[in-house]
Structure 1
Amino acid sequence: MRARTRELWSEHNPGLDTSPMEVVAQVKRVVAALDRAVAPLYEGAALTAAEVELLVPLRHADEPVTASGLAFRLGMSRAGVSKALAKMERRGLIARSVNPADRRAALISLTATGEDAIDQLFPRELAAHAQVLAGLGSDRQRVVDALARLAEVMEAHLDADAER
């Protein structure tokens, strides 16, 4: 299907470089497979996948965390993180406290309820990831290195664009 899509675009617009589709399509396949692997864990769970993504860095944070710092670290929008944190605060998963360094930015921490929730779900998510990645065998480090290189190239480009 992907090869046919590229072929059709090339016929329609012969000068169009469709080669980026090869990389993007594979990244999307990986993300979709990871989502499928963990989807059963979240059926009826106390947390959503998005909430786990936000709570994991908070679980063992050794310094205060702000919503904007969390958004930056995870590559998410500040508005989206703020909205999710507000929902989790209402459910008693996180607490916000005044930031003495900047009263406009609250410090975020897990509550005991939040710790229990993440401690129950995250190891199960890791196990599901390990299961779908087990087939990599000795290729695992090569894949990790290639993905790290992809992330570095993309981030460098985006950072250079932001500086212009």
Structure 2
Amino acid sequence: MADAIDIIRAQWAAAEPDVDTSPAEVVVRVLRIARILQKRSDDVLERLGMTRAEFDILSLLIRAGRPVSPTEICDQLWTSGAGTTKRLHKLTERRLIVRLPNPQDGRSMFAEATEAAREQVVPVLHELTRFEGQLIERLGGSKDSVVDALRTLLAAVEDDRAEPDPRALLRSTALRRPAPGRAAT
């Protein structure tokens, strides 16, 4: 069954036959799946009266079960300090978190989820995991092998050594001979 990625690869094969686009079979599909899942799960969150940022922060605080520093929130959620601070202020105003002094550093505060946050997040979590579970059921018996493959891919992506040197990439494309009938740039 062909999909949009197969069409894209065929177009590149016609336009640039020397380029091996086979990595797109995995990478572009993963990116496309991520975008679609993000949009659909954000729709579920919106219907339930919560934004993705609120859900992510409150979920982290509830899972942690302890006060968490804004730096730790930024690190775990890959968010900016300014954005996290803004969201923490809003969540504090809504009484979904409390701010507690950091005993080791009087200049910083920890964040901790309130019981009201738990009461809001847990039903949303149930609905979101139900929605996601319905999608994953379509994998059938191949779910475990997909999970294993994704775990392996994630480990490779998270390994800093797996990232190519952009200068080497530029050198390799700069040294490529132009296709017949095309001028070198």
CA distance, structure 1, for counterparts of residue 134 and residue 26 of structure 2: 24
Report the Cα offset of residue 159 of structure 1: 8.5
Query: 1:109 — aligned with what?
Result: 112
CA distance, structure 1, for counterparts of residue 89 and residue 119 of structure 2: 19
CA distance, structure 2, for counterparts of residue 64 and residue 43 of structure 1: 27
The question of whether the paired residues in 2 share the 8 Å contact of 1:6 and 1:18 is answered with yes
CA distance, structure 2, for counterparts of residue 94 and residue 36 of structure 1: 26
Q: 3-state DSSP class of the match of 1:46?
A: coil
CA distance, structure 1, for counterparts of residue 93 and residue 149 of structure 2: 41
Q: Is 1:99–2:102 an aligned residue pair? A: yes
Deviation per residue, 1:18-62 (Å, 9 max, x gap): 344332221123223423543442344331122112211211324
CA distance, structure 1, for counterparts of residue 93 and residue 157 of structure 2: 36
> Structure 2 vs 1, CA of residues 108 and 158 (structure 1 numbering), >3 Å: closer, same or farther?
farther
**RMSD between superposed Cα atoms in Å:** 2.6
67-76 or 33-42: bigger deviation: 33-42
CA distance, structure 1, for counterparts of residue 111 and residue 19 of structure 2: 47
CA distance, structure 2, for counterparts of residue 158 and residue 74 of structure 1: 22
Which AA in structure 2 matches 1:155? E
Q: Calculate percent identity across the aligned residue pairs.
A: 30
Identify unmatched segments of 5+ residues in structure 2: 165-185
Structure with more relative contact order (C-alpha pairs < 8 Å, separation 6 or more): 1
Q: In the comparison of the two structures, how many residue pairs are matched? A: 161
1:3 is matched with which residue: 3, 6, 14?
Answer: 6
The question of whether the paired residues in 1 share the 8 Å contact of 2:45 and 2:128 is answered with no
Which AA in structure 2 matches 1:85? L
Query: 2:21 — aligned with what?
Result: 18
CA distance, structure 2, for counterparts of residue 18 and residue 109 of structure 1: 46
CA distance, structure 2, for counterparts of residue 123 and residue 50 of structure 1: 17
Which AA in structure 2 matches 1:150? L
CA distance, structure 2, for counterparts of residue 24 and residue 138 of structure 1: 23
Report the Cα offset of residue 16 of structure 1: 4.5
Structure 1 length as normaliser, TM-score?
A: 0.80
Query: 1:81 — aligned with what?
Result: 84
The question of whether the paired residues in 2 share the 8 Å contact of 1:37 and 1:129 is answered with no
CA distance, structure 2, for counterparts of residue 96 and residue 59 of structure 1: 14
Relative to total residues, which structure has the larger helix share, 1 or 2? 1
Structure 2 length as normaliser, TM-score?
A: 0.72
Which AA in structure 1 matches 2:133? A
Query: 2:171 — aligned with what?
Result: none
Larger Rg: 2
